[in-house]
Structure 1
Amino acid sequence: MSQEASAPQRPRLRESFTGRTAFIVVAVGSAVGLGNIWRFPYVTYENGGGAFLIPYLVALLTAGLPILLFDYAIGYRFRGSPPLAFKRLHPKAEAIGWFQVGICFLIAIYYAAIVAWAAMYTWFSLTQAWGDDAAGFFFGEYLQYDEGGTAGTGISVDFVAQVGWPLIVVWLILLAALAAGVRKGITRISLIGLPVLLLMFVLLVGYSLTLEGAVDGLNALFTPEWSALSDPTVWIQAYGQIFFSLSVGFGIMITYASYLKKRSNASGSGLVVGFSNSSFELLAAIGVFAALGFLAAGAPLDEVAESGLGLAFIAFPTIIAEAPASALLGVLFFGSLAIAGLTSLISIMEVVVSSVKDKTGWSRPLAVAVAGGSAAVVSVTLIGGVSGLTILDVVDAFSNNIGIVSAALVAVFLVTWVFRRMDVLAEGLNAYGSFRVGPVWKALIGVVLPVVLGYLLILDVQDKVQNGYEGYDSWVLGTFGWGALALMLVLAVGMSLLRWNTSSAMHLENPETEEAA
């Protein structure tokens, strides 16, 4: 064997953000997503209005920020994607990271479709293509939605051109950004996308406040129902909203924190990201309910207030059709939705790409081609067809409410009580942090979070087992819900049993090494 062939490979430096500002912008771009715009306003309205802000703030301080710092600490201290970081945290913890990767893969499959829909509706807004029947246009003419899968007659993947081709374009943009790397791809898109998003949404809120009935909408949203504070369900909703809106618990913030330079203020950055996310949610609530007040035209807001796809693709097109300067309103709303979705989607797929790259030692372009290309093919095949909405709805309900929560619950419990690594994580945050974490933070992670997450998980699993979900046939739930989660769990264990390639990050990246300036 030649001397060149036997020579050991040289250690390499991990990719990194250019600085703390870049990290904060990218992390905020990940946290601010679709849930901020279409979930928080409705959850607030349904759970005590202005009074809901009290449990929401308590949840932010006692669960949201602590688990955000927990994710930061793992990624920052152990310098890797979820599988690598957990492997370095404890030799038997790698499977936790791979399950988080699997959840990200599932979410990316359908999340890309919603980004594509929002982009198309930005275009449709110019001509109000939905006419007088927003619901009929969305389900029928645009999606060509086939409800057969809900009745057990079969899922169809027949390609729908106006849905599938925009979805392909979204994936091409996404994969190009990921292939360009942390600095040239992910950071650049976030540095452009986040300011544009904020500008568009501020304009949207300002416009919505000028609409007739806007004050009625805001009164309905923020008038406090103090009696709601005695309802445990309201508090659980507050913790659920905080948890789902911060991009925590499924590997995103672990991955992003691994790209921080060694001497970084991770704890201070966590506060900025957490409060920025909540501020945007409040801004979104004002804009959305001001517009809904206009749509209600004096009628009870219950008749028009919706969440999720109903708000975005049915209620808001109806508002746009009746509002003055309708094209402007539509471009602002759906453009904001598309940008917020894209920056979040990039962070979701970066977890998958980074993990594959770390494990195999492949170049970033190759990891993007294999991991990202696989996700794109599955996404276009399943969600780009006439039954795409059924598959999207089921995968979303199970991957978010069961997958993310269970992954986070297992992680905080094992790290705290089994692996007992909280002291190491605290030391990593405290080394250069703007404030010190200690016993209170550890108690919140080890006691409060397992209780809250466990309760959320039990409630949701119990409901789905007893009542199913949205009337879908049991085989649909078994395949795209329970089955998808089970497959991710099996793959997580299988991936954790595979040896790390000798050219992988495990062997060639030293977590203690200082990055180059």
Structure 2
Amino acid sequence: MTDKDAFVTRLGFVTAAMGQAIGTGNLWRFPRVATANGGGPFMVAYIIAIFVWAIPLLMAEMCLGMHTRKGSVGAFRDFMGKKYTWMGGWHAFVCLALGAYYSVTMGWAIRYFVLSITTLKPGVDTEYIWNSFISSPWQGIIFHAIAVIIAAIVVFRGVSKGIELASKFMIPTLFLLLIIAMVRALTLPGAIGGLNYLFNPDFTQLLNGKVWLEAFTQAAWSTGAGWGFMTTYAAYSRSKEDIGCNAFIVGLSDTSAALLAAMTVIPTIYALAPESLYEAIGAGNTGLTFIWLARLLPAMPLGRLVSAFFFLGMGFAAVTSLYAMYEVGIKSFFIDAGWSRKKAASIVVGMCFLGGLPSAINVEFLNNQDQVWGVGLLVSGLFVAIAMMKYGVEKARREIINPVSELHVGKWWNYCIIFFPVMFLIVCGWWTYQQFTWYPETWWNPLETYSPGTMFLQWAAVIVIFILFNNTLAKIIKPDNTEQLT
């Protein structure tokens, strides 16, 4: 690989990989879903999901990137054959579609960091503040633009001077902010009751299928496994980068961040408003974060500082995922086709900014895109598993993974990859079934926010376009370059 713009150190690669995994879902979705699904039993199911879904897919993605030295498009072409290039196109497109609206949610975190310093205090009507903010198109656009600019600065600087340096700073800082917030939350009177609630030991709930489905869904969305991030980052890695250990580090660090957030959020609510715990958990991701936490965090001693730390941490978590999304498109569609980074980054950032404007203006559009491409990411993971099976699961483990892994990866990895399509059908099928129950009469309507119709139509449009242009896409990506980094 002749591109000198690559990760210089293993620490840089690992922190960048951790950054793509740790996002807003760790801070606002995990605490809510874990508590709503039994606490302790959910944790058990979630850890199992990390080991049988997330970590195997992270390894598989690193196989794609390190073996081909390409982003998603070229990786699928070179790993599976020219006729499968469209799968790589889907892979990269979904990341960009996600990035288009993810910057909007990052903008929310930035806005609430500012509000924590200037406005949020005991007695403030946080529901009014949230509704006023979300109904103001100009505020949405301004903070969306700020988020895009921050992420753009990183990707314009490249891998070693941008992504690596930013990740080395932001990931340790994120964990520090979360630890400070957690320690303060746990020192509140009655906070231990929140821990007891969070880690509920009623393991009879492990017999509840919904607990397992929610845990696997959270693991799939939280770690970014199978989404294209690790394929892209691995393409920039050193030739001897440890696939096995790095996959475990990323999966477990993502879980650690989620647990720190949960041990901040739930004890805070339990200590300050125990009678409203179920109401807060049922308020959804944004309601829990921007109404309940914005109300309760400033109410504790030193609460405004804790609130600022929490929302700043959320901003850090968002930006490390956002610039990873941009980089997937930059590498996959443009740099691998011979474009300069400056031109590639300009196009990707510009497209994502414009693509995010409808979400910045209308939260219902954002909810629609989050539903469509959030579930679409599960399809991306399926494509990675299919790529491994097409290449040969045992061959990939023996010839690509274990030669560079200090931790010997056994045949359990083979079984996880081979069984993955079944897990996908169960998880994705359950999620789709829920959508049918939400819209029993109008499930086919593509204008409904969460209907299966809108999801299938948008998926079909993207897949058909990439299949039609499969050969063109395969031709524009430069041929293999066998010279690898040392």
Class of the TM-score when normalised by the shorter of the 2 chains = over 0.9
426-435 or 342-351: bigger deviation = 426-435
Does residue 15 (structure 1) correspond to residue 5 (structure 2)? The answer is yes
Distance 1:499 1:96, change over 3 A: closer
Contact 1:20 1:269 in 2 (8 A): no
Determine which of 453, 467, 473 is the counterpart of 2:424: 453
* Alignment correspondent of 1:117: 108
Quote how far apart the aligned CAs of 1:422 are.
4.8
Distance 1:334 1:499, change over 3 A: closer
22-31 or 47-56: bigger deviation = 47-56
* Alignment correspondent of 1:148: none
Contact 1:128 1:321 in 2 (8 A): no
Between the aligned partners of 1:199 and 1:292, the Cα distance in structure 2 is 21
* Alignment correspondent of 2:402: 430
Between the aligned partners of 2:290 and 2:265, the Cα distance in structure 1 is 13
Distance 1:347 1:430, change over 3 A: same
Quote how far apart the aligned CAs of 1:359 are.
4.4
Quote how far apart the aligned CAs of 1:272 are.
1.4
Q: In structure 2, give the amino acid aligned to 1:513.
A: E
Does residue 335 (structure 1) correspond to residue 306 (structure 2)? The answer is no
Q: In structure 1, give the amino acid aligned to 2:385.
A: V
Q: Equivalences for 1:80-479 in 2 at 5 Å?
A: 80-91=70-81, 92-129=83-120, 132-139=124-131, 141-144=132-135, 160-296=137-273, 298-299=274-275, 301-306=277-282, 307-379=284-356, 381-385=357-361, 387=362, 389-401=363-375, 403-416=376-389, 418-420=390-392, 422-447=394-419, 449-468=420-439, 474-477=446-449
Moved over 6 A (4+): none
- Counting helix residues as a fraction of each chain, which structure ranks higher? 2
Q: Deviations over 1:1-32 (max 9, x none)?
A: xxxxxxxxxx8336321021111011111111
Q: Deviations over 1:276-307 (max 9, x none)?
A: 111221111111111111232x4262132244
Quote how far apart the aligned CAs of 1:414 are.
4.9
Q: In structure 2, give the amino acid aligned to 1:349.
A: Y
* Alignment correspondent of 1:4: none
Does residue 489 (structure 1) correspond to residue 460 (structure 2)? The answer is no
Q: Deviations over 1:99-129 (max 9, x none)?
A: 1111111111111011111111111112335
Question: SS at 2:236's partner residue?
Answer: coil
Contact 2:393 2:414 in 1 (8 A): no
Between the aligned partners of 1:364 and 1:52, the Cα distance in structure 2 is 43
Contact 1:42 1:305 in 2 (8 A): yes
Between the aligned partners of 2:473 and 2:216, the Cα distance in structure 1 is 38
Between the aligned partners of 1:426 and 1:367, the Cα distance in structure 2 is 36
Between the aligned partners of 1:46 and 1:62, the Cα distance in structure 2 is 23
Q: Deviations over 1:219-250 (max 9, x none)?
A: 21112222101112212222222111111121
Distance 1:494 1:184, change over 3 A: farther
Unaligned runs of 5+ in 2: none
483-492 or 39-48: bigger deviation = 483-492
Unaligned runs of 5+ in 1: 1-10, 146-159
Q: In structure 2, give the amino acid aligned to 1:399.
A: W
Q: In structure 1, give the amino acid aligned to 2:447.
A: W
Question: SS at 2:118's partner residue?
Answer: coil
Contact 1:15 1:182 in 2 (8 A): yes
Distance 1:445 1:243, change over 3 A: same
Q: In structure 1, give the amino acid aligned to 2:312.
A: G
Q: Deviations over 1:317-369 (max 9, x none)?
A: 11034222232022111101111100011111111111122443110110111
Distance 1:27 1:257, change over 3 A: same
Between the aligned partners of 1:168 and 1:364, the Cα distance in structure 2 is 21
Identity of aligned residues (%): 26
Q: Deviations over 1:104-158 (max 9, x none)?
A: 111111110111111111111123358632122212x21216xxxxxxxxxxxxx
* Alignment correspondent of 1:155: none
Q: In structure 2, give the amino acid aligned to 1:361.
A: G
Contact 1:128 1:327 in 2 (8 A): no
Contact 2:60 2:384 in 1 (8 A): no
Contact 1:217 1:301 in 2 (8 A): no
Distance 1:195 1:495, change over 3 A: farther
**Over alpha carbons, which structure has the higher Rg?**
1
TM normalised by structure 2 equals 0.92
